[in-house]
Amino acid sequence: MTVRIWDAATGATLQTLEGHLGWVNAVAFSPDGKQLASGSEDKTVRIWDAATGATLQTLEGHSDLVSVVAFSPDSKQLASGSDDKTVRIWNAATGATLQTLEGHSGLVNAVAFSPDSKQLASGSDDRTVRIWDAATGATLQTLKGHSGRVNAVAFSPN
């Protein structure tokens, strides 16, 4: 399956990224725009060079499809959420797993780093938002109150 990078002004295809063996569910550019991450039904995350289209890393570890990906503001880390009910934090340069965050009882639909990259929020089908310490993997808070699944999370800039 493919990911395409388009020039929004001209409609021209800039890159066609091939390598996933299943549908692509999520994409995210790094804040510096140099890399693109994609998450797929093939249970992998790929990090691509946005300029050349080359695969930089193939990240394996999830046991079910990857539904969401997000880079940290400093572009050093990448978070992925999966239908395996976990969130993984990866070193974007090496592809190493830094943390596997377990605690959701439902599919993970959303992830977002705090502006200082120290915390990570995740939203799930279990109707909760969890706030994690990105360095240690500890759950800092479990926010309850939604009557349905949580599909998006975000931190305030301040």
For residue 137, being part of any structural domain is answered with yes
Say how far residue 104 (Cα) sits from the centre of its chain.
16
Q: How far does Cα 1 stand from its chain's mean position?
A: 18
Is 114 domain-assigned? yes
Whether residue 158 has pLDDT greater than 90? no
What's the mean pLDDT when you consider all of the chain? 97
- In which domain, by residue range, is 19 found? 2-143
Percent of the chain past pLDDT 70, that is, above it, reads 100
Cβ atoms of 46 and 28 closer than 8 Å: no
Q: Give residue-wise pLDDT tens across range 106-144.
A: 999 999 999 999 999 999 999 999 999 999 999 999 999
pLDDT above 90: percentage of residues in the chain: 99
- pLDDT of 53 reads 94
How many domains in the chain? Answer: 1
- Identify the CATH number of the domain in which residue 7 sits: 2.130.10.10
Strand partners, 3: 17
Is 69 a member of any domain?
Answer: yes
- Res 152: pLDDT: 98
**Rounded average pLDDT over 66-78:** 97
Whether 153 is in a domain gets the answer no
Stated pTM of the model:
0.94
From its phi and psi, is residue 43 left (phi > 0), alpha (psi between -120 and 50) or beta?
left
Task: Answer whether residue 156 is part of any domain.
Answer: no
**In this structure, is residue 99 part of a structural domain?**
yes
At 87 the pLDDT is 99
Q: Is residue 132 part of a domain?
A: yes
Would you state the torsion angle of the CA atoms of residues 129, 133, 134, 136, taken in this order, to the nearest 10 degrees? -130
44 domain-assigned: yes
Reading the block at residue 12, the tokens are 């021209």
The pLDDT of residue 153 = 98
The pLDDT tens digits for 10-41 are 999 999 999 999 999 999 999 999 999 999 99
Query: Binning pLDDT at 50, 70 and 90, where does residue 70 land?
Result: very high
What pLDDT is attached to residue 1? Answer: 83
Which among 144, 123, 118, 122 is positioned nearest to 133, based on CA atoms? Answer: 118
Question: Average pLDDT for residues 38-58, to the nearest whole number?
Answer: 97
